[in-house]
Amino acid sequence: MELITEVSCGDWLRERIGGWDRVGGTAGAGFEAYARILHPVPVHREDLTVADRWGMHPVLEEGRWPWSRVAARQGLTMHPLVQWNRLADLHQGVDFADGWRVGQSRDGSLDVDLLAGLTRHLREATRSPEQLVVGIWAGWGELSGTTVVHARAEDCDAQTEADARMRLHLEEQRTSVAPDVAAAVRRGPLVELPGREYVLLATGCDELADETWPRRAGIGWTSVFDGPLPQLVWPADHAWVVASEIDWDSTIVAGSRALVDAVLTDDRYEAFEVEEGSDLTWEGDLVNPPRAGWSAGP
């Protein structure tokens, strides 16, 4: 990937987006159809019959679940505007009696393997599959060197060992951001869209189809920790937009009827068709009741 310094290539999208709380406000108005891809959630199963001196249970298996599995276990309803905060506690996730523990959805980006798979459909829906623009929100701490990672001393024989490892990690993180990307985050050029600023990078479907690309892209990925992923992707002919608003638990694919149908029928994705004006805020789920003790209001 290469840094794009001529950020006027994003002007067309600025003219088509607006309020972040609506589908078209984030992905752009005026497309033929829109698909919403739900970000799968991490899960693991613990052996509840065994506990260490800190009360922690050994992990027997790990995986990733679609939202529908979490909803079904609780008698909740899946629908196009379902919100994760109605299916799970925003801080604790969900713990089931059989030892399965559900974590949180990844807000703001589609998992790298799912983005890679999506390129199969994206390349067929544009005349310029190798002329793509990627937008990454400039506010990610990994890009500016402000991310703080906390070591767990109990995992080490001595705190000094933990400190040494942390220093090595922070140095790796600092050097994992390409100099021109770091400079753009500090001083520009950035494309300014309503409420958000993005670093722009040039890429193509071939590169995005390779799941290892983030570790070579200079965007803060290290050998230990994953860094940011794209919030926006679009081709030179503006045929579609893939948008992952940083505060959303899902990704919007905006484009032709054929593209959206291809996404909706791909078993790799838990996807629903939505409308340009659909509400994807935390209060947008009018089917499932709010979880006890939580409200988005004052």
Query: What pLDDT does 206 receive?
Result: 98
Query: What pLDDT does 90 receive?
Result: 80
What does the buried/exposed string (b/e) look like for 239-272 if buried means 16 or more CB atoms within 10 Å of the residue's CB? bbbbbbbbebbbbbbbbbeebbebbbebeebbbb
Query: What pLDDT does 293 receive?
Result: 56
Rounded mean pLDDT, 99-109: 90
Query: What pLDDT does 256 receive?
Result: 98
Residue 52 scores a pLDDT above 90: no
Q: Grade residue 37 by pLDDT with cuts at 50, 70 and 90.
A: very high
Rounded mean pLDDT, 147-155: 45
pLDDT in tens, 197-209: 999 999 999 999 9
Of the candidate ranges 40-54, 65-79, 220-234, the one whose mean pLDDT is the lowest: 40-54
Phi and psi angles of residue 277, each rounded to the nearest 5 degrees, phi first: -95, 10
pLDDT in tens, 262-279: 999 999 999 999 999 999
Are 3 and 203 in contact by the 8 Å Cβ rule? The answer is: no
Residue 113 CB: number of other CB atoms within 10 A? 11
Query: What pLDDT does 162 receive?
Result: 60
pLDDT in tens, 173-196: 667 899 999 999 999 999 999 889
> Using the 8-state DSSP alphabet, how is residue 210 labeled?
S
Top mean-pLDDT range of 18-32, 79-93, 117-131: 117-131
As given in the structure block, the two tokens for residue 84 are 């994760």
> Using the 8-state DSSP alphabet, how is residue 251 labeled?
E
Between 162 and 214, where is the model more confident? 214
Phi and psi angles of residue 67, each rounded to the nearest 5 degrees, phi first: -60, -35
* Separation CA 102–CA 113 (nearest Å): 20
* Separation CA 19–CA 17 (nearest Å): 7
* Separation CA 191–CA 186 (nearest Å): 13
Residue 6 scores a pLDDT above 70: yes
Whole-number average pLDDT of the chain: 88
Residue 295 scores a pLDDT above 50: no
Q: Grade residue 7 by pLDDT with cuts at 50, 70 and 90.
A: very high
pLDDT in tens, 218-247: 999 987 788 999 999 999 999 999 999 999
Distances (CA, A) of 21 to 193, 195, 217: 14, 11, 30
Residue 287 CB: number of other CB atoms within 10 A? 13
As given in the structure block, the two tokens for residue 186 are 């500090």
Query: What pLDDT does 145 receive?
Result: 64
Are 265 and 33 in contact by the 8 Å Cβ rule? The answer is: no
Are 135 and 12 in contact by the 8 Å Cβ rule? The answer is: no
Query: What pLDDT does 126 receive?
Result: 98
Query: What pLDDT does 163 receive?
Result: 62
Q: Grade residue 156 by pLDDT with cuts at 50, 70 and 90.
A: very low
As given in the structure block, the two tokens for residue 80 are 């196009």
